[in-house]
Amino acid sequence: MTTTTVSPADESVASTLSAALRAGTRPEHETAEHTGFVERLMAGQLDRAAYADLVAQHRLIYTELERAGERLRAAGRDGGLVFDELVRVPAIERDLAHLHGADWRDKVRVLPATEAYAARLRECGDSLPLYAAHAYTRYLGDLSGGQIIKRMLQRHYGFGDEGVEFYTFPEIDKLKPFKDVYRERLDGLALDADERAAVVEEARVAFRFNAAVFGELGVLHVR
């Protein structure tokens, strides 16, 4: 006699977009988490200059992501995914001022992988499904693992609240319920199965862009 095991928790056949995104990007998440730059940064083996270089890359990435979000919202097509509480560019710029001083604009550089990521965001920005893929990858990450990253940065590099404001969401009272709402909004997007698959595919691309940025930062900062 054979038995058939049905696993309702099998997210590879997930019916909701948020579950499909989580399952579909798991290997890419694993890869991004274990790049040399991220592992060394988290272990306290780099320096503030390395972290500042990462923040400068975030500045361009979030500038493009948030421009795209604003464009979609202005057109009334943001699917409820654009939240003022998530906007990161002002916090990033305060972090850069803390790290480099008032003349931070003269001291930051943008790496080729970051330029490529920004170009992709510009290409995707007018499509809600593609925007959703990129926004999911960054914002849910910042609200999740980003909170662990913040604590590690504070522990190893002596930050208090300043310098790591990027990871702080003062207008969000509790992160978990907020993430649940965000996932509900993703799941509420009017997308068919093919479009949902395209969102997951683009999120995997987004993770790879992030890994490429870490790769270039690693070449510069990991010895």
Contact positions vs ligand HEM (CB under 6 A): 21-22, 29, 32-33, 38, 42, 136-138, 140-141, 144-145, 148-149, 207, 210
Task: Pick the closer one to ligand HEM by CB: 104 or 214.
Answer: 214
**Residue 39 burial (CB < 10 Å; 0-12/13-18/19+)?**
middle
In the complex, minimum distance from the CB of residue 10 to ligand HEM, in angstroms, rounded to a whole number: 16
Q: How far is the CB of 155 from ligand HEM (least distance, A)?
A: 13
Which of 144, 136, 149 lies closest to 205 in space, CA to CA? 136
Nearer to ligand HEM by Cβ, of 26 and 97: the residue is 26
Q: Which is nearer to ligand HEM, 62 or 207 (CB)?
A: 207
Instruction: Give the residue with the Cβ less far from ligand HEM, 17 or 52.
Output: 17
Nearest-approach distance from CB 111 to ligand HEM, in angstroms: 15
Q: Which residue's Cβ has the minimum distance to ligand HEM? A: 145
Exposure string of 144-180, with b = 16+ CB inside 10 Å and e = fewer, is: ebbeebbeebeebbebeeebbbbbbbeeeeeeeebbe
Instruction: Name the residue nearer to ligand HEM (CB basis): 169 or 207.
Output: 207
Shortest spacing between CB 22 and ligand HEM, in angstroms: 3
At 52, list the tokens: 């500042």
Query: Are residues 56 and 110 in contact, defined by beta-carbon separation less than 8 angstroms?
Result: yes
Q: How far is the CB of 210 from ligand HEM (least distance, A)?
A: 4
Report the distance separating Cα 182 and Cα 30, nearest Å.
22
Check: CB of residue 199 under 8 Å from CB of residue 17: yes
